[in-house]
């Protein structure tokens, strides 16, 4: 059984906001930073009562939270890190109401924090999929009760690409036509890969685009044919929809891409639960601001 990053370990690593700020500083300015003002390799020292550090030579200050979700937030960094911890230790997501209760903040604050964390999770860069890749589209939202599947009123179309025993990538698209789905596949799947789909006509031209295309006919009750199936991506859709219904009740089209980024991150890091939180924190790293 894989080890997990426990709450006690989290408390030990990040006992207060100062420890969180120091981690952000290390991530974004490395161990041997160069001052942008005096151009010398320096050591930065914490400035009291500010989220900043000063150069040991010229006193020039840097603000490591600039360009992060915490830049314009007055919420203590410890609460931000704890919220990120919660997002990496759940299977079904964290509603804003739960953050409100756990952190002791207003619902408005909790809602904003949740969306900023989802955007950070969605920034995880996954290399192009290859090998055996399953592609399918699904429909999220809409009227209840309402028509299921293609043609359902008010639903948002999402295309998913799942490398067998590997990562998943999802994207909100305007429709399920060939001109929409094919460019997404060509962008996210390496040529030469075997692409498994159902019988939907939008996938029929893939063999002419440098892929080996295999399909199953769900309409006739065919689910597996000579090793070809879409069971992996359909299992992912099932988990995604259960989580949305059970945790968030409803997700609007406007914010759905953020939720997809969250669930993709969690799925792609599922085999390393002891490092998932640190992987998320590591996404705060970027080039030093000029």
The residues facing 212 across adjacent strands are 194
pTM of the model: 0.90
Count other Cβ atoms within 10 Å, centred on residue 50: 11
* Exposure b/e, 132-161, CB count within 10 A at least 16 = b: bbbbbbbbbbeeeeeeeeeebeebbbbbbb
CA 254 – CA 274 distance, rounded (Å): 32
pLDDT of residue 142: 65
Measured CA to CA, the distance from residue 212 to residue 228 in angstroms comes to 11
What CA–CA distance (Å, rounded) separates 132 from 83? Answer: 36
Cα 148 to Cα 91, 155, 169, 281: the distances in Å are: 25, 9, 23, 39
CB 185 within 8 A of CB 195: yes
Q: Give the separation between CA 131 and CA 284, rounded to whole angstroms.
A: 31
Distance CA 52, CA 196 (A): 51
- Tracing tokens 């997404």 back to the chain, one arrives at 184
Is 287 in a helix, a strand, or coil? coil
The conformation of residue 201, written as its DSSP 8-state character, comes to G
pLDDT at 250: 86
Please enumerate in sequence order all residues whose Cβ is within 8 A of that of 1, keeping only pairs 6 or more positions apart, or say none. Answer: none
The pLDDT of residue 290 is 40
Q: What is the dihedral of CA 173, 175, 180, 184, to 10 degrees?
A: 30
- On whether the CB atoms of residues 117 and 82 are closer than 8 A, the answer is no
User: What per-residue confidence (pLDDT) applies to 125?
Assistant: 87
Residue 289 has what pLDDT? 42
Query: Is 188 in a helix, a strand, or coil?
Result: helix
Tokens of 41: 């390799």
Give the SS3 label for residue 9: helix
How would you write the pLDDT of the chain (290 residues) with one tens digit per residue? 568 899 999 999 999 999 999 999 999 998 888 998 999 999 999 999 999 999 999 999 999 999 999 999 999 999 999 999 999 999 899 999 999 999 999 999 999 999 999 999 999 988 899 999 999 999 998 665 555 656 556 789 999 999 999 999 999 999 999 999 999 999 999 999 999 999 999 999 999 999 999 999 988 888 999 889 999 999 999 999 999 998 998 899 999 999 999 999 999 999 999 999 999 999 998 644 44
Distance CA 180, CA 169 (A): 16
CA 113/CA 119 separation, integer angstroms: 10
How far apart, in whole angstroms, are the C-alpha atoms of residue 107 and residue 234?
A: 34
Q: Confirm if 120 and 284 have CB atoms less than 8 A apart.
A: yes
């Amino acid at each position: 059984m894989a080890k997990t990053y426990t709450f006690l370990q989290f408390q030990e690593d990040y006992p207060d906001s100062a420890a969180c700020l120091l981690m952000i500083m290390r991530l974004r300015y490395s161990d041997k930073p160069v001052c942008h003002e005096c151009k010398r390799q320096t050591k930065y020292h914490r400035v009291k009562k500010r989220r900043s550090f000063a150069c040991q030579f010229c006193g020039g200050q840097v603000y490591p939270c600039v360009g992060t979700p915490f830049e314009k937030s007055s919420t203590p960094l410890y609460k931000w890190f704890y919220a990120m911890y919660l997002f990496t230790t759940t299977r079904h997501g964290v509603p804003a109401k739960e953050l409100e209760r756990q952190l002791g903040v207003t619902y408005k604050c909790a809602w904003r924090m949740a969306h900023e964390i989802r955007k950070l999770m969605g920034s995880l860069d996954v290399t192009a999929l290859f090998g055996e890749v399953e592609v399918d589209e699904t429909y999220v939202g809409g009227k209840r009760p309402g028509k299921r599947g293609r043609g359902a009123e008010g639903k948002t179309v999402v295309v998913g690409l799942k490398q067998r025993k590997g990562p998943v990538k999802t994207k909100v698209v305007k429709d399920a036509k060939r001109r929409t789905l094919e460019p997404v596949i060509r962008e996210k799947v390496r040529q030469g890969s075997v692409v498994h789909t159902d019988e939907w006509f939008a996938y029929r031209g893939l063999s002419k685009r440098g892929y080996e295309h295999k399909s199953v006919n769900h309409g006739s009750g065919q689910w597996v044919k000579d090793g070809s199936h879409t069971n992996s991506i359909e299992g992912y859709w099932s988990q995604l929809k259960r989580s949305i219904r059970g945790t968030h009740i409803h997700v609007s089209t406007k914010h759905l891409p953020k939720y997809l980024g969250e669930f993709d991150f969690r799925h792609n890091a599922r085999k390393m639960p002891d490092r998932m939180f640190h992987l998320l924190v590591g996404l705060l790293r970027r080039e030093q601001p000029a």
